[in-house]
Structure 1
Amino acid sequence: MLATAISSAALAFEKDDLILRAGLATVSPDESSSNILVGGSDLGVALGVDNNTQLGLNFAWFFADNMNLEVLAATPFKHDVNFSVTDPLGTGNQLGEVTHLPPTITVNYYFNDPSSAFQPYIGAGLNYTIFFDEDFTAANEAIGLADLSLDDSFGLAAQFGVDYMLNETWFLNGSVRWIDIDTEASFNLSGTEGAVNSIEIDPLVYTVSVGYRF
């Protein structure tokens, strides 16, 4: 009965529609890194980054009946940065903590079927990730580690998602994104410069949200 009540025109998005989504976004890194260097010496230890979930927001404008331009935003993601081996410095396995924002612009193509409440889409775009509030743990600061800094990242992004129309204005959304995030880290250990020359985070971002069409 609900499906019959919703007109076929209302099920599919149309040109000049504006939509807003809000929900939960989980960043799950598929990370790899080069080893930590201190004064040019290789410590034989790499880094790992854990998952984090935050409020995810996105806004999209349909510039055609089946294509939109989407901007992804979120509250800042905070990740533990861990050693790749257990407790190499005797300070615990966690090296520190970093916070980032990954604003992403995507162009999405919808496989429009006006008769279906399911509206799947694929998309591709660009990401710029901003790192800030990079800190070592207190235990690592106590042995002389300081001035942790990660470079911002610019890379590609891709996604698959589906909107499920509840009525003419409200809908549910689920999506999976891949984002290319590559960075470098610098720090010092008791005045000696240190670095990690390559950190590939490359996360999958899982989002479940509620949307509204204007």
Structure 2
Amino acid sequence: MIPSKYGLLFGALALPLAAPAIAQDRQGSVQVKGFVTTVLPEGEITEVEIDEIGLPAGSDVRATDSVIPKATIEYFVTNNFSLETYCCVSPHDVRGTGTLGGAELINDAIILPATLTAKYHFDLGSTIKPYIGAGPAYFFIFDEGVGADAAALGATNVDLSDEFGVALQAGVDIALNDSGLGLSFDAKRYFIGTTATFRAGEEVALRTEHDLDPWILSGGLSYRF
């Protein structure tokens, strides 16, 4: 039998070891996050399917960057495994590069990147929790308008197709207190494209394939309950 004084000492030493295990019990909890987010798409032409206007050699395009608010919600299936989705829309223009340098082609295209990721959280203690994730994505693109230079060439309508793709994710959650409040930093890379179709009246004047492949970089506050 352990003498009482040693029993008390053993218990005192064991308490700090037990506390992190309790603090790390996240199974069944929900975490919400509010972010400031930068969306960095690419937009290069990968294929020209129809060209009735005669694009000059060396023509290419890029999609402009955007800074937006973003909110996420995450459910912890186990302490280390969670499912996350989020809500945001980001506006982008499409501008010419190369021999089309600076040309206004598409204005105010809105992207809604519907995404569901499965995340694995690494245990490095009770405060810092890095994670990785991956999952499917579907980009809804709407409200795109014909830019001034595309209109000057006779374009009357433009459409960017909605598409499926995949997202890879990495980030870290940093606890600020024992009540669920924390900091969070997140990076996603999407692999997804779109088809741009310009029409002059009812006729297709130009149809091109593009890689969007945006980086979405976020930082903000989280709260778990």
Q: Same fold (TM over 0.5)?
A: yes
1:137–1:42: structure 2 CA closer, same or farther, 3 Å change rule? closer
Conserved 8 A contact 2:33-2:73: yes
Q: Which residue of 1 aligns with 2:133?
A: 123
Matched, 1:166 2:180: no
1:142–1:10: structure 2 CA closer, same or farther, 3 Å change rule? farther
Map 1:54-203 onto structure 2 (within 5 A).
54-74=68-88, 76-85=89-98, 87=100, 93-97=103-107, 98-113=109-124, 115-168=125-178, 169-189=180-200, 192-203=203-214
Secondary structure class of the residue paired with 2:213: coil
Q: 1:25 aligned to 27, 37, 47, which one?
A: 37
- Say which one has the larger Rg: 2
TM-score normalised over the length of structure 2: 0.82
Conserved 8 A contact 1:127-1:180: no
Percent identity among equivalent residues? 27
Q: Which residue of 1 aligns with 2:12?
A: none
Q: Tell me the alpha carbon deviations over residues 83-117 of structure 1, each in whole angstroms, 9 at most, x when there is no partner.
A: 123557xxx5221221111011000000123x341
Q: Tell me the alpha carbon deviations over residues 165-202 of structure 1, each in whole angstroms, 9 at most, x when there is no partner.
A: 00121011001111112110111236542233310010
Conserved 8 A contact 1:16-1:64: yes
Unaligned runs of 5+ in 2: 1-15
Unaligned runs of 5+ in 1: none
10-19 or 94-103, which deviates more: 10-19
**Take 1:87 and 1:46, find their aligned partners in 2: how far apart are those partners?**
7
Conserved 8 A contact 1:39-1:192: no
96-105 or 42-51, which deviates more: 42-51
Conserved 8 A contact 1:120-1:161: yes
Instruction: Report the RMSD for the aligned CA atoms in angstroms.
Output: 2.2
Structure with more helix by fraction: 2
Cα displacement (A) at 1:42: 4.6
Amino acid in structure 1 at the alignment position of 2:42: D
Secondary structure class of the residue paired with 1:141: helix
TM-score normalised over the length of structure 1: 0.86
Secondary structure class of the residue paired with 1:206: strand
Q: Tell me the alpha carbon deviations over residues 130-165 of structure 1, each in whole angstroms, 9 at most, x when there is no partner.
A: 000111124532442121001101011111100000
**Take 2:203 and 2:121, find their aligned partners in 1: how far apart are those partners?**
53
